[in-house]
């Protein structure tokens, strides 16, 4: 036993001696390792000391932003009735439906995946760092950690075979503000099924920007969770208790939603069948009407052929008449031209006679005046003679 103790002591002395010898040989390496260990211990001690304050700060921020405790999604979507049923569930303080979707934004350098989510009324309140919240369709608030600036125009694409109009009422947005969402606590923005599979930033838009009939998710706040400190076992335990019931409720509502979709599909199918029958009947009537119209058209075509034959005959007769009238017209035209020539000759003779008349007129007028004077004298003498003869007759006739 004594020999064992002595051996152990010798080994300790040798080890200690080797330890000191190593320090003397490389004091710089020793000091480096010493400071690295000291720094690690100090950093770990600081984190352990700041942990309560960090939890309190985070819990205060979550409470101020009304961060949800549970997020529930369904393949078939979430209806307003689902939201009301979940809100009445045991352990649920408040439930609110929301819309979201992933879209592609293409720049000259790269293609980004953006997560577009609706602005909620109560939960998950967005903190605005610059600008303002979006107020109408076509406006958005961009991720404060993105490269977007106020006034930028963002044009989105679906990234799938579906049209973007199936999800959004517009594909172009103007950035009116920058901010942060309590749904994103780290630099990572999650994964996506479009693009490269990684979300680069988020956009917040008004709820009426989405063109969807049902919500894509529902956010839940658990009763009593706000009074508990986040990231503690008590908080996690409380959430787990309610989460089990929420999962059961989600499964139940999924069945209800599935049955509802089946009923809607059946109803639409019945309507489609009825429309098909109506279409068939209408098509049958239209075919009958078309057959009758074809028969009428054939009769009209036969009548038209007869009319065409009559028309051709009339055209032949008209051509003969036209040729005869053309000959008469040519003869009349020749007579007209002959008469026109005679008229021109007569006009020339008239103009010559008129010229001669005008030239002889002065002499003729003088002769007429002289003749009129001579005739008047002869007439006067004749009257005198008649008067004398009359008196002689009267004198003879007297008794």
Per residue in 209-230, pLDDT tens?
999 989 999 999 999 888 888 8
pLDDT: which is higher, 61 or 12: 61
162 phi, psi to nearest 5 deg: -75, 150
Is the pLDDT confidence value at 399 over 60?
no
- pLDDT confidence tier of residue 124, bands split at 50, 70 and 90: very high
- Residue 268 has phi, psi (to 5 degrees) of -65, -35
pTM: 0.59
Cα distances (Å, whole numbers) of residue 72 to 85, 95, 251, 254, 345: 13, 10, 11, 11, 118
Task: For residue 140, count CB atoms less than 10 angstroms from its CB and return exposed for 0-12, middle for 13-18, buried for 19 or more.
Answer: buried
Comparison of pLDDT for 223 and 347, the residue scoring more: 223
Confidence of residue 387 (pLDDT cuts 50, 70, 90): low
C-alpha 186/C-alpha 154 separation (Å) is: 24
Per-residue pLDDT for 142 more than 80? yes
Average pLDDT over residues 55-83: 86
- Least Cα distance to 139 among 108, 163, 169, 107 occurs for 169
Whole-number Å distance between alpha carbons of 116 and 164: 12
User: For 256-298, what is each residue's pLDDT tens digit?
Assistant: 777 777 777 788 888 888 888 888 888 888 888 888 888 888 8
Mean pLDDT on 97-104: 93
Average pLDDT, the chain: 82
H helix intervals, 165-211: none
pLDDT band at 22 (very low <50, low <70, confident <90, very high): confident
Mean pLDDT of 316-345: 80
HSE at residue 387, side-chain half, CA atoms within 13 A, is: 6
Q: Sign of dihedral through CA atoms 263, 268, 269, 270?
A: positive
pLDDT at residue 217 in the model: 92
Query: Could you give the CA distance from residue 218 to residue 79 in angstroms, rounded to a whole number?
Result: 9
Are 221 and 71 spatial neighbours (Cβ–Cβ below 8 Å)? no
175 — pLDDT class (breaks 50, 70, 90): very high
* CA distance to 21, 50, 93, 127, 203, per residue, from 182 (Å): 57, 21, 19, 8, 13
Place of tokens 């002959």: 338
């Amino acid at each position: 036993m004594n020999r064992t103790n002595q051996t152990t002591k010798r080994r300790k002395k040798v080890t200690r001696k080797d330890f000191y010898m190593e320090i003397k040989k490389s004091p710089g390496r020793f000091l480096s390792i010493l400071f690295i260990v000291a720094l690690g211990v100090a950093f770990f001690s600081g984190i352990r000391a700041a942990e309560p304050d960090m939890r309190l700060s985070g819990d205060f921020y979550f409470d101020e932003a009304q961060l949800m405790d549970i997020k529930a999604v369904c393949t078939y979507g979430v209806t307003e009735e689902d939201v009301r049923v979940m809100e009445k569930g045991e352990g649920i303080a408040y439930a609110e439906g929301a819309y979201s979707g992933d879209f592609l934004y293409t720049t000259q350098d790269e293609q980004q995946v953006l997560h577009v989510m609706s602005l909620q009324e109560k939960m998950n309140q967005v903190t605005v760092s610059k600008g303002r919240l979006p107020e109408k369709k076509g406006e958005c608030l961009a991720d404060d950690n993105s490269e977007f600036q106020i006034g930028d125009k963002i044009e989105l694409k679906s990234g799938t075979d579906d049209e973007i109009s199936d999800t959004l009422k517009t594909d172009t947005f103007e950035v009116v503000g920058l901010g942060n969402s309590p749904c994103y606590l780290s630099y990572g923005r999650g994964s996506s099924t479009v693009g490269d599979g990684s979300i680069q930033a988020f956009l917040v838009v008004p709820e009426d920007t989405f063109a969807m009939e049902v919500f894509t998710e529902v956010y839940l706040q658990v009763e009593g969770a706000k009074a508990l400190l986040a990231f503690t076992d008590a908080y996690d335990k409380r959430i787990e208790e309610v989460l089990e019931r929420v999962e059961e409720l989600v499964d139940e509502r999924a069945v209800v939603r599935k049955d509802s979709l089946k009923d809607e599909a059946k109803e639409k199918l019945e309507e489609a069948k009825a429309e098909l029958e109506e279409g068939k009947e209408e098509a049958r009537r239209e075919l009958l009407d078309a057959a009758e119209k074809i028969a009428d058209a054939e009769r009209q075509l036969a009548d038209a052929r007869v009319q065409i034959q009559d028309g051709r005959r009339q055209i032949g007769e008209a051509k003969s008449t036209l040729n005869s009238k053309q000959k008469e017209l040519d003869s009349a035209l020749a007579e007209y031209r002959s008469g026109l020539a005679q008229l021109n000759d007569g006009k020339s003779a008239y103009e010559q006679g008129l010229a001669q008349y005008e030239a002889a007129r002065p002499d003729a007028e003088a002769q007429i005046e002289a003749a009129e004077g001579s005739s008047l004298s002869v007439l006067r003498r004749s009257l005198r003679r008649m008067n004398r003869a009359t008196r002689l007759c009267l004198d003879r006739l007297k008794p």
